[in-house]
Amino acid sequence: MERAKIFWIMTGLQHFNNAIITKKKIINSDLCLINFEVENWHKHVPGQYSEICLTAENGYQAIRPYSIASSPDEKSVTFLIERINNGEVSNFLYDISTEGDNFQVSNPIGKRFILQNKKIPIFVASGSGIAPFISMSKYLANKNKRFYMYHWSKNFSGLVIYEENKSYINSLYFPNITRNKPPNWTGGDSRINSKTFNNLDLNNQYEFYVCGSDFFVENALDIISNLGKKFDIYTERFGSF
Ligand SMILES: Cc1cc2nc3c(=O)[nH]c(=O)nc-3n(C[C@H](O)[C@H](O)[C@H](O)COP(=O)(O)OP(=O)(O)OC[C@H]3O[C@@H](n4cnc5c(N)ncnc54)[C@H](O)[C@@H]3O)c2cc1C
């Protein structure tokens, strides 16, 4: 009873809005992009997340946070969902949800992992950890601002915005495929390691943004802090996978 009360107070604080799926794109067997039209949407800052709330017919609700993958200039709000084995919400969103379905989406949340854009941004992502950087990179590309993007994926489709990143003239893009490389792949194929950032001029001022699994974020933090200079580092962890 007490638990239910706390839950309702929390959802009340999050300002959930009615949202309808306007488009769903399956990327591969793990990932999909879902666009929502959200009532009374508050423009977000790139890097923020929202909570998606599923409500069953019997009133049962499940709520999970997802990074906002659209840029603040876009009309619809996009999320990149990774289907987690036996995951309650991600499985529903990936397998069952369809265009026209109604959900509740919270107003944008978070002040910690947002684009500062005071120094040169460097995005470091693994897997679906690319989600907040889709938003940040679109935003910066529109403003002709320079940024670096390092992304590790198991396969080519998991790079999600490969073509866009190649087309951004102000982006220095370093995609890595660790398992199923397409023929003639010219990008990287090793995991993040102590040589990954050898191409950076360490005399520049950088702000690092790292996003992915706990394991990936820890690993990246170790490597960045051993570069021998003090950088601003912002991290977002999606969970232990
Ligand atoms: C700030 C923030 C932003 C996030 N943004 C995104 C995003 O943009 N895209 C996205 O796909 N996910 C994102 N996540 C993760 C997301 O919130 C859920 O944790 C994830 O979708 C799993 O929820 P589920 O209901 O499917 O699994 P659950 O039913 O909660 O869990 C099922 C099983 O999977 C394990 N598990 C839980 N979370 C994960 C995980 N992330 N990876 C692997 N195993 C897990 C659990 O321990 C459990 O054993 C974000 C998390 C945070 C904290």
Q: Which residues line ligand 1 (CB under 6 A)?
A: 49, 64-67, 79-82, 84, 86-91, 128, 131, 236, 238-239, 241
CATH code for the domain in which residue 94 is found: 2.40.30.10
51 and 14 both lie in a single domain: yes
User: Which residues fall within 8 angstroms of residue 228, CB to CB, at 6 or more apart?
Assistant: 202
Instruction: Give the residue among 200, 203, 157, 196 at the shortest CA–CA distance from 177.
Output: 157
What pLDDT, on the 0 to 100 scale, is given for residue 45? 97
In a domain, 162, yes or no: yes
137 and 222 both lie in a single domain: yes
User: Which residues fall within 8 angstroms of residue 141, CB to CB, at 6 or more apart?
Assistant: 164, 168, 170, 171
- Residue 110 CA to residue 135 CA, distance in Å, equals 14
62 and 148 both lie in a single domain: no
Q: Which of 48, 83, 106 marks a domain boundary?
A: 106
233 and 131 both lie in a single domain: yes
101 and 128 both lie in a single domain: no
Instruction: Give pLDDT tens digits for 190-231.
Output: 999 999 999 999 999 999 999 999 999 999 999 999 999 999
In a domain, 113, yes or no: no
What pLDDT, on the 0 to 100 scale, is given for residue 13? 57
Question: Which atom of ligand 1 lies nearest, measured to the CA of 113?
Answer: 1
75 and 171 both lie in a single domain: no
Instruction: Give pLDDT tens digits for 67-108.
Output: 999 999 999 999 999 999 999 999 999 999 999 999 999 999
Instruction: Give pLDDT tens digits for 105-155.
Output: 999 999 999 999 899 999 999 999 999 999 999 999 999 999 999 999 999
Instruction: Give pLDDT tens digits for 161-194.
Output: 999 999 988 879 999 999 999 999 999 999 999 9
Residue nearest ligand 1's atom 24 by CA: 87
C-alpha 91 to ligand 1 mean position (Å):
10
Residue nearest ligand 1's atom 46 by CA: 87
Instruction: Give the residue among 54, 55, 56, 46 at the shortest CA–CA distance from 78.
Output: 46
Other Cβ atoms within 10 Å of 122 Cβ, number: 23
63 and 155 both lie in a single domain: no
Of residues 239 and 88, more confidence is placed in: 88
Domain tally for the chain? 2
What pLDDT, on the 0 to 100 scale, is given for residue 170? 81
204 and 136 both lie in a single domain: yes
Torsions phi, psi of 108, nearest 5? -60, 140
At 4, the pLDDT band (50, 70, 90 cuts) reads: very low
- Residue 203 CA to residue 190 CA, distance in Å, equals 26
Instruction: Give the residue among 97, 128, 107 at the shortest CA–CA distance from 34.
Output: 97
Give the range of the structural domain holding residue 190, as residue numbers without chain letter: 120-237
C-alpha 69 to ligand 1 mean position (Å):
16
At 241, the pLDDT band (50, 70, 90 cuts) reads: low
Q: Which of 73, 106, 139 marks a domain boundary?
A: 106
Question: Which atom of ligand 1 lies nearest, measured to the CA of 69?
Answer: 8
- Residue 238 CA to residue 80 CA, distance in Å, equals 12
Whether pLDDT at 240 is above 80: no
At 6, the pLDDT band (50, 70, 90 cuts) reads: very low
59 and 141 both lie in a single domain: no
Question: Which atom of ligand 1 lies nearest, measured to the CA of 90?
Answer: 26
What pLDDT, on the 0 to 100 scale, is given for residue 168? 87
Between vectors from CA 160 to CA 197 and to CA 234, what angle results, nearest 5°? 45
